[in-house]
Amino acid sequence: MLRLVIVSLAFACANAIVCTKDVCQLVRCAAVTAENCVGGSIVANGGFCGCCDSCVQSLGAGDQCFSSLLLGVPSTAKCASGLYCDPTTSTCKKIPNLQTLGKRAAVTCAERVNQMQLASTNGLPLLGQFIPQCETDGSYSARQCKGSVCYCVDASGSTIQGYSANIGQAASMDCKCARDQSDYMKTGLIGKLFSCTDSGSYQRYQCVGSVCFCADNLGNMQQGSPSVNIGNIGALQC
């Protein structure tokens, strides 16, 4: 019965499902095992609002896919590595190489949202349509959430690989470290180290060269923090 209620909520909400702090206490999780997830992969806490494990099937080139999901609703299938879900055809396609992407005209987050609004019906987004989060200047917010997963993106809205979190664990996820690291790598410079958490936020310590110190959430040295050699980083009490 609860599963039917969850499905009904998904179709009733046009923008998102609200994953409250205690929502998992109301959800009964079905066991996800290798026996009932044949041909797929088990994603820990990848289910509804990050409450349950999920089975995600891998899709091949040309397979039907969903490029947009309601916030909080888990995906049961995804395009295999090297493929992406084309929102125009709703099929898995090969990811273009970097040279091809570089020739594509950049579209700001605000412009993207405006395009979606113009294409919508009566000004309302299509059911399940993914609407990116934008900053006040029209750029993409560093953290984006789709389905039950939140992830980091660069200023152009492209996913920064390696940084993500289940939506139920993303309250403090700001992607500041992941965004700064991505921007720095694009300059071609070397020598600066970035210590990021798995969700893309700054670790409580940072290192410049061989010197490490306690850092704030922007990666800057905390006032009064001692500096230690990178080999003694364990001595920091951040």
Query: How do the pLDDT tens digits run along the chain, 238 residues long?
Result: 334 333 333 333 434 455 666 778 888 888 889 888 888 888 877 777 778 888 888 888 999 876 555 444 566 787 887 777 766 677 888 866 544 444 444 678 888 887 776 665 445 555 566 889 998 888 899 999 988 899 999 988 999 999 999 988 888 899 999 999 999 988 888 777 788 999 999 988 888 777 888 988 888 888 888 888 888 888 888 8
Give the CATH number, domain containing residue 204: 4.10.800
Contacting residues for 151 by C-beta, under 8 A, at least 6 apart: 143, 144, 145, 159, 160, 163, 164, 165
Question: Within this chain, do residues 198 and 160 fall inside the same structural domain, yes or no?
Answer: no
Question: 129 lies in a domain?
Answer: yes
pLDDT at site 173: 93
Domain boundary among the residues 171, 202, 222 is at 171
Say what the pTM is: 0.53
Domain boundary among the residues 120, 144, 171 is at 171
How many residues are given for the chain?
Answer: 238
pLDDT at site 98: 42
Q: How many structural domains are present in the chain?
A: 2
Question: 31 lies in a domain?
Answer: no
Question: Within this chain, do residues 144 and 200 fall inside the same structural domain, yes or no?
Answer: no
- Secondary structure string (H, E, C) spanning 67-136: CCCCECCCCCEEECCCEEEECCCCEEEECCCHHHHHHCCCCCHHHHHHHHHHHCECCECCCCCCCCCECC
pLDDT at site 138: 85
Query: CA 53 → CA 41, 42, 48, 210, distances in Å?
Result: 10, 7, 9, 40
Write out the residue range of the structural domain in which residue 135 sits: 103-171
Question: 164 lies in a domain?
Answer: yes
pLDDT at site 11: 36
pLDDT at site 6: 39
pLDDT at site 163: 94
Q: Is the dihedral of CA 8, 11, 13, 16 positive or negative?
A: positive
Question: Within this chain, do residues 135 and 183 fall inside the same structural domain, yes or no?
Answer: no
Contacting residues for 22 by C-beta, under 8 A, at least 6 apart: none
What sections of the chain are H helices per DSSP?
Answer: 2-12, 98-103, 109-119, 176-186
Domain boundary among the residues 149, 171, 193 is at 171
- Position of tokens 């009964």? 28
Give the CATH number, domain containing residue 153: 4.10.800.10
Question: Within this chain, do residues 204 and 142 fall inside the same structural domain, yes or no?
Answer: no
Question: Within this chain, do residues 181 and 236 fall inside the same structural domain, yes or no?
Answer: yes
Question: Within this chain, do residues 178 and 211 fall inside the same structural domain, yes or no?
Answer: yes
Question: Within this chain, do residues 207 and 233 fall inside the same structural domain, yes or no?
Answer: yes
Question: Within this chain, do residues 137 and 183 fall inside the same structural domain, yes or no?
Answer: no
Question: Within this chain, do residues 187 and 204 fall inside the same structural domain, yes or no?
Answer: yes
pLDDT at site 85: 73
Question: Within this chain, do residues 156 and 197 fall inside the same structural domain, yes or no?
Answer: no
